[in-house]
Amino acid sequence: MPKTQGSFDIRVGLCEAWRGLRNAELCEASGVTDAEFVHRAGFIGGAWSKESAIDMALKSLEEAKKTQ
């Protein structure tokens, strides 16, 4: 969800340490067993299960709270 309508600024990106990683490298870094990828800018990522995608989102929200 963008900060404002029509904006490309993201409110909270996926974890910095995961950005640009794919497959096994991402699974190891994130602790999510079926993580697939995270874009280099952190605005999108994916996993093979809904539960894992939610886990990635929650972990990213927790990281963002620590840095605010």
Q: What is the pLDDT of residues 22-68, one digit of tens each?
A: 999 999 999 999 999 999 999 999 999 999 999 999 999 999 999 87
User: DSSP class of residue 59?
Assistant: H
Angle ∠(32,37,42) on CA atoms, nearest 5 = 100
Alpha carbons 12 and 68: distance in angstroms, whole number: 11
CB contact set of 40 (below 8 Å; sequence gap of 6+): 19, 20
Q: pTM of the prediction? A: 0.85
**Helix, strand, or coil here: 46?**
strand
Alpha carbons 53 and 40: distance in angstroms, whole number: 17
